[in-house]
Structure 1
């Protein structure tokens, strides 16, 4: 894959994907997911139109079934079964997209890579822009995927759990990068999930996921590095990413990986877990 020198090695362009639609071993995944306030439904939109050959990854259903949190990472066997039912194999070249671009696709990019699909990429730009540019769109009832075998092997070092997060907050052994918007981070705006405290973890830095992209495309690498550093991150030190429920935290993960930062993990429970408890420290105001 010939990646331009200032582009992330983990994204692909519209032109790249358009020329490969239908090729053997190229799989396309719609990972669109929305907050209630956005008044959009990923599954409904997928059923109406999609990039030709795409399958829909339901981020509310391919999760740990016994968790009371919204997006807890699934067990290996459960993820393998779900990915296989979508026709995905860990050896495929997989391109993940969402509606606006650089919103929820990075979460599924992270999940697939974390379970062993090393040739997974994010479509730069998103499906909204793809349609606006008149690129190929498939409508009508989506085809049922041909089942495949996905050999899932979870990289546990990529995931931070609650007990680890408590230790990180207490010891400051890793930087914390929070992808939520400034209002939720500072506690000025309420959380969208009822009954949850607002604010952030002690020591966290606010890196709103939206500042890492422009028009649905991940920023060029130089800009990306400057944006991360401007948020207060030292790119020579460990980082754990977090957000509301573990979805947009992956946008920061994608940005970090893109600029060559490898010592990073994603806090899977994120604020749904931390802010939903009454025994965790919460800070309001600026970091």
Structure 2
């Protein structure tokens, strides 16, 4: 019998209790922050949750030929690469990252985009798993049997530059920016030197850090208050950030808060701020 999860986020206690379920797939979705210049640890020394498969956002699950980072794959490519990880139609996926809540929501959102909803983010991520001294192992290069995962593409979950341009004048859409207030207001430099500062006209600042507390997402009630403050009439949301990673954190928070009409701007500010003739506010 397949394990079904009805929430977009699960606790480490839930994962520990279901760790041996035959349909469970655990994905390590860790990427370094673009603002983190420290050296990463030797991969031979890396540990992970027992039974984990590495989900390589940067090199496998992004279009590396695209001009901007973290560009989504086509639905066909995504399906093939997910099957190669041994993921099936009846799998239940739990995704986590080494920073608590950072890049794992991006993977959660990717699967939403591809029509797969039996997936959750691990609240508190790997730090909380370690804090509880739950089972770990050295990172392995698993070679799973090909899965039968199928895509059911949901195009309303993603927006592109032309969509955002239209949304600027659309009074029924809220564009929310997950970057820091300093980057939004152009008082802090962008981490990529070739990207202009500022923000999309008529967008609002909602730093992703505002919905996180000590590596956990804030409670459903707290999230509802935060999102209702900027969108009390439950209009459509478009979430943006630097490259689409932390915009997905906002998407996860909005979903938990009861908002279902949301999308992520795939190119986000890196595309907007490096494309000629697009309007910018500072």
- The reply to whether TM is greater than 0.5 is yes
* Worse-superposed segment, 91-100 or 169-178: 169-178
Deviation at residue 187 of structure 1 after TM alignment: 0.6
Give the whole-Å Cα distance in 2 for the aligned partners of 1:40 and 1:96. 24
Deviation at residue 98 of structure 1 after TM alignment: 0.7
Gaps of 5+ in 2: none
Matches within 5 A, 1:51-62: 51-61=49-59, 62=61
The SS at the match of 1:184 is helix
Matches within 5 A, 1:45-84: 48-61=46-59, 62-84=61-83
- TM-aligned CA distance change 1:40 to 1:99, over 3 Å: farther
- TM-aligned CA distance change 1:136 to 1:225, over 3 Å: same
Give the whole-Å Cα distance in 1 for the aligned partners of 2:135 and 2:210. 29
* CA contact 2:99–2:125 (8 Å) conserved in 1: yes
Give the whole-Å Cα distance in 2 for the aligned partners of 1:52 and 1:20. 12
Give the whole-Å Cα distance in 2 for the aligned partners of 1:78 and 1:65. 12
Matches within 5 A, 1:110-125: 110-125=109-124
What is residue 259 of structure 2 aligned with on the other side?
Answer: 261
* CA contact 1:52–1:137 (8 Å) conserved in 2: yes
* CA contact 1:47–1:142 (8 Å) conserved in 2: no
- TM-aligned CA distance change 1:73 to 1:109, over 3 Å: same
* CA contact 1:30–1:46 (8 Å) conserved in 2: no
Matches within 5 A, 1:205-220: 205-220=204-219
- Give structure 1 regions of 4+ aligned residues with deviation exceeding 3 angstroms: 39-47, 170-173
* CA contact 1:172–1:203 (8 Å) conserved in 2: no
Give the whole-Å Cα distance in 2 for the aligned partners of 1:261 and 1:2. 21
Deviation at residue 2 of structure 1 after TM alignment: 10
The SS at the match of 2:126 is helix
Deviation at residue 258 of structure 1 after TM alignment: 0.7
Give the whole-Å Cα distance in 2 for the aligned partners of 1:132 and 1:222. 25
* CA contact 1:90–1:152 (8 Å) conserved in 2: no
What is residue 89 of structure 1 aligned with on the other side?
Answer: 88
Deviation at residue 47 of structure 1 after TM alignment: 6.6
* CA contact 2:177–2:207 (8 Å) conserved in 1: yes
The SS at the match of 2:35 is helix
The SS at the match of 1:157 is helix
Task: Pick the aligned partner of 1:275 from 252, 270, 273.
Answer: 273
**TM-score (ref. length: structure 2):** 0.92
Gaps of 5+ in 1: none
Give the whole-Å Cα distance in 2 for the aligned partners of 1:235 and 1:96. 31
- TM-aligned CA distance change 1:191 to 1:253, over 3 Å: same
- The CA RMSD measured in Å over matched residues stands at 2.2
Deviation at residue 162 of structure 1 after TM alignment: 1.3
